[in-house]
Amino acid sequence: MRITSWGQYPLIDAEWNYVTRSHKKTIARGMGRSYGDSALYSHVTSSRFLNLFLDFDSEAGYLRLGAGVTLGEILELSIPKGWFLPVTPGTQYVTVGGAIASDVHGKNHHRQGCFSEYVESFLLCLGNGEVVNCSRNQYPDLFKATCGGMGLTGIILEVTIKLQSIQSTFIDQIILKTKSLEETLELFETHTNSTYSVAWIDCLNQGRSRLILGEHAKGEIKLQNHSSLSIPFNFPVLNSLSIKMFNEMYYRAKKLNQEVYYQQFFYPLDKIKNWNRLYGKKGFTQYQFVIPKAVGLEGLKTILNKLRVANRNSFLAVLKMFGKQNENYLSFPIEGYTLALDFKLDKYLFDFLNELDSIVLHFGGRLYLTKDCRMSEKVFKQSYPQWQVFQSTREKYYALDKFESLQSRRIGL
Amino acid sequence: MTKIMIIGATSCIAEAVSKRYAKRGYEFYLVARNENRLKDLANDLKIRGAKSVNYGNHETITESLHNIDIVLIAYGTLGDQKACEQNVGLALQELNTNAISIMTLLTELANYFEQQKSGTIAVISSVAGDRGRQSNYIYGAAKGAVSIFLQGLRNRLYKSGVNVLTIKPGFVDTPMTKDFKKGLLWSSPENIAKGIEKAIDKKKDCVYLPFWWWGIMAFIRIIPEKIFKRMSL
Ligand SMILES: Cc1cc2nc3c(=O)[nH]c(=O)nc-3n(C[C@H](O)[C@H](O)[C@H](O)COP(=O)(O)OP(=O)(O)OC[C@H]3O[C@@H](n4cnc5c(N)ncnc54)[C@H](O)[C@@H]3O)c2cc1C
Ligand SMILES: NC(=O)c1ccc[n+]([C@@H]2O[C@H](COP(=O)([O-])OP(=O)(O)OC[C@H]3O[C@@H](n4cnc5c(N)ncnc54)[C@H](OP(=O)(O)O)[C@@H]3O)[C@@H](O)[C@H]2O)c1
């Protein structure tokens, strides 16, 4: 079967199976919302039928569920009972297993950390077929390797997570427009107390941006129907001109402060299903890096400058602030700023991204594995200093030679 | 309170339908072979809001026919056409699973609903039953037979106030079609489930899911046999 992930690159032939207790060399796969080759291999194991809820304590907010349930389904169940995900990425079409494997972050990392912070425990199927219950107390090393471990320690089967209570399905949103990157970063710092913060920046205009702040509103739980549009086939309309126009319009958009429905606040891109097809069938990649706080401004400026000189623009350029790093061996966030840039693939793109890699490394930063399809082994190992601990934990729990992805092979894991 | 019986409850499409009705607080009686999955599914549906969930196997159907408002028959197999051409035993097995066994069930269900004088019988047939094609005419023949059987049943039960719904999905991404190359014409089981729920609610007679399969099949049906027989569909 031909498979690919969100970036539609690479596209490979693979054998596809559902979870069983014994498997060939394989990699787990959820919704395939990772952009690159993390969930790709000649043999993949889909978590699709781990899609049942197991237990919901709606008094205390604990939820036990199969690893293939999506975050959207969790919210559908939990919101009417007043519970929300403490951390959510920018799309609800990801599985809870995928959220753990990438240790995903939201717009509140500076306050609430990564997804794994709210994971109580999970059942993991190891390379020898054994199923173990991992938590911070049981198999703590395996827990730290699996959260952020990109499926390379085993297959997550069942998960217990802790939800967060909410009083309203709305978010009080404030939008601040800035004229430059300096100003944007200053405002991020001024508003560290905001629960949610994120900036959409215009790469070609000194990084002028819209900084969006949000708080859970008070009031009541009200559900709204929301419709979505679907792009049924590859329809390449994103080019430098349309991106420029979008950014201009978006920057100028008037409505600033308002109460918005949670879907609109957290998942604006889910409005258009398969928007990845707007990049055409050659695919695209997202280049998401983080630069440590101390050199954040300088690092970001250097990168934006590089984009300008190369005349490369990104349709989406999303900037977030990261709080403290957690203990997981391969979790991406370190304290600083993270910028995500989307690029349509072309002949020269990877050379260009290699140049960006050197800048990111120079400033002590790193790239997000779940977005990556091309980083070299050298760049990875230099920027993820705990890779050896990760690797020996994999060895200890029979994962070597059992769980592999195209990515793990490329980066030498 | 509405009570639904789902036969073939662990099929991918049926599970997606059940999840939708669970949210509406329905009562369930689920029937399938895989007891472990059934147990887990029953638990899941309760968490999602089902008022009650009981389950059993094909033998327990008769005794469980009490106050059922809706029955959905959803099991089926997509046999290997080439193998069926070489082995009539295999072909008969396919016809048995996808047609004869369903007609057997329908006979009992029809009598039950006829007496009850209300309710809905919904059966998943397929667009494949609309016209025979070389690539899967055993499956198509079974589905076509079921569709015709349902037409007759609908006609018979109309005066008893019982609704009979024929569901004709196009290509759906489920374990049944795991090894097929997916493309533009494919739908998710969740999307099909939404259509099934709507058709049951609206007491439809026959639906193509998604709806545009109606157009595709209308076109395929009108191609003259003289030309059709030369095509490799
Ligand atoms: C529009 C969009 C917005 C996004 N926004 C954000 C964001 O704001 N923040 C963020 O952090 N990420 C973001 N992401 C990335 C996304 O959250 C991650 O890639 C996530 O891991 C995808 O989950 P999935 O279920 O699709 O997993 P897949 O893409 O299928 O797999 C991703 C990784 O998880 C592993 N995995 C999946 N299931 C299991 C399992 N059961 N057991 C073990 N390993 C498993 C795979 O092996 C693979 O390494 C975004 C992605 C998109 C498309
Ligand atoms: N997928 C498509 O593209 C498509 C298109 C049109 C119509 N349909 C129809 O939709 C229905 C649901 O299929 P699906 O796509 O959801 O497939 P699925 O997930 O593979 O489900 C098939 C189900 O049928 C059950 N089953 C098979 N043989 C059986 C038998 N002899 N006795 C009892 N149960 C049996 C299986 O039970 P076990 O789990 O116990 O094996 C399984 O639950 C079927 O009628 C199918 O023909 C499907």
Ligand nearest to the Cα of B101, by number: 2
Chain centroid offset of residue A296 CA? 20
In a domain, B91, yes or no: yes
Q: Which amino acid is at B79?
A: G
pLDDT of residue A405: 98
**Is A22 strand, coil or helix?**
coil
Confidence of residue A211 (pLDDT cuts 50, 70, 90): very high
Q: Average pLDDT of A351-360? A: 98
Ligand 1 site, residue A206, Cβ cutoff 6 A: no
Task: Output the tens digit of pLDDT for each of chain B's 233 residues.
Answer: 899 999 999 999 999 999 999 999 999 999 999 999 999 999 999 999 999 999 999 999 999 999 999 999 999 999 999 999 999 999 999 999 999 999 999 999 999 999 999 999 999 999 999 999 999 999 999 999 999 999 999 999 999 999 999 999 999 999 999 888 888 899 999 999 999 999 999 999 999 999 999 999 999 999 999 999 999 88
Cβ distance A16 to B43 less than 8 Å, yes or no, reads no
Contact list in A for residue B44 (CB cut-off 8 A) is 52-54
The pLDDT of residue A246 is above 80:
no
The model's pLDDT over A123-177, given as tens digits with 9 standing for 90+, comes to 999 999 999 999 999 999 999 999 999 999 999 999 999 999 999 999 999 999 9
Contact A18 B48 (CB under 8 A): no
Find residues 2-61 of chain B whose CB sits inside 8 Å of chain A: 23, 40-41, 43-44, 47-48
Question: Best residue in A20, A53, A274, A277 to probe B by mutation, most B CBs within 10 Å?
Answer: A53
In this predicted complex, what is the ipTM? Answer: 0.93
Nearest CB to A233 within list B44, B47, B184: B184
Instruction: Note whether A223 contacts B: Cβ–Cβ < 8 A.
Output: no
Q: Is residue B135 part of a domain?
A: yes
Neighbours of B212 (CB within 10 A): 11
Q: What is the mean pLDDT of chain A?
A: 94
DSSP string, A199-242: EEE-TTTTT-EEEEEEEEPSS---------EE--S------HHH
Residue-number span of the structural domain to which B175 is assigned: 3-228
B20–chain A nearest CA distance, Å: 11
Residue B205 covered by a domain = yes
Q: Which residues pair with A196 in a beta bridge?
A: A214
pLDDT digits (tens, 9 = 90+) for A248-263: 777 777 667 889 999 9
Residue B233 lies inside a defined structural domain of this protein: no
DSSP letters spanning A345-375: --TTHHHHHHHHHHHHHHTT-EE-GGG-S--
Nearest CB among B41, B44, B181 relative to A2 is that of: B181
Domain-embedded: residue B9: yes
Token pair 């999307």 in the structure block, residue: B191
Side-chain-side CA neighbours of residue A167 (13 Å):
6
Cβ <8 Å between A77 and B47: yes
User: What is the pTM for the complete model shown?
Assistant: 0.96
Contact status, residue A6 vs residue A382, Cβ threshold 8 Å: no
Counted domains in chain B: 1
CATH of the domain at B63: 3.40.50.720
Q: Is B144 a member of any domain?
A: yes
In this structure, are residues A68 and A114 in contact, taking their beta carbons and an 8 Å threshold? no
pLDDT of residue A92: 97
The token pair that represents A227 in the structure block: 């419709």
Does residue B177 lie in a domain region? yes
User: Which pair of structure tokens corresponds to residue B15?
Assistant: 């599970």
* Alpha helices for B7-132 (secondary structure H): 12-23, 35-48, 81-86, 88-95, 101-116
Q: How much is the pLDDT for A1? A: 83
Lowest mean pLDDT among A69-83, A193-207, A282-296, A360-374: A193-207
Chain A residues close to B43, C-beta within 8 Å: 52-54
Structure tokens at B233: 């569909």
